[in-house]
Amino acid sequence: MLKKLVAGFPVYLNVYDLTPINGYAYWLGLGVYHSGVQVHGVEYGFGAHERETTGIFLVEPTHCPGFTFRKSIFIGTTDLGPQDVSAFMDRVSHHYSGNTYHLISKNCNHFCNDVCLRLTDNSIPRWVNRLARLGHLCNCVLPPDLQETKIDSSRGRVIESGKNKTNKKLRRRANEYQDPRLEIAASDYISIEF
């Protein structure tokens, strides 16, 4: 008897340790984590910067610079193909500008949960962002500089978004991930700047 294969493309949450203490904290259901959503061989993350442009960036899956990879978690499947995911990320990018990043209320894990819900109807595991939820409850005791922590989004490509689609650019730095499938899929609505 043949089993019916699940339709759609797999979506993974890639989880990274931000600190070596996670080796112990993980077993207690705590830890400080970075996460990215992997779909179609590309990992999308969210980071902070001072500009009003998007904080969404792309990296090679499981290789986000500056973090230690912990694990990939299968979240579900999406029916969106590569071009549709690129267009979806372009639409989402308007809600995730780098200057709106907030360690407690709008961080990379919030972004990943939002994207996973929209792509698969499934949330990310609660432990990934547990510390931010606890921090939200105790926000009044956190120092202001911790609440405003900015993460350098130059770890990957940044999708520039604007009103005019011809002005959207996928910026590339010498050390970042390049997926030819994404560039071909995205060429319909963004220009590539070298």
* CA nearest neighbour of 81 among 157, 188, 194, 160: 188
Catalytic residue among 40, 49, 108, 110: 108
* CA nearest neighbour of 153 among 96, 74, 105: 96
Calpha distance 15→21 (Å, rounded):
15
Q: What phi, psi does 36 have (nearest 5°)? A: -140, 155
Q: Which two tokens stand for residue 64?
A: 């986000």
Calpha distance 109→15 (Å, rounded):
9
CA 113 to chain CA centroid, Å, is: 9
- Strands ordered across the beta sheet of 42-46: 68-78, 9-17, 33-39, 42-46, 56-59, 157-158
Task: Tell me, yes or no, if 108 is annotated catalytic.
Answer: yes
Indicate the SS3 state at residue 39.
Answer: strand
End-to-end CA distance of the chain: 52
Which residues are marked as active site? Answer: 34, 108
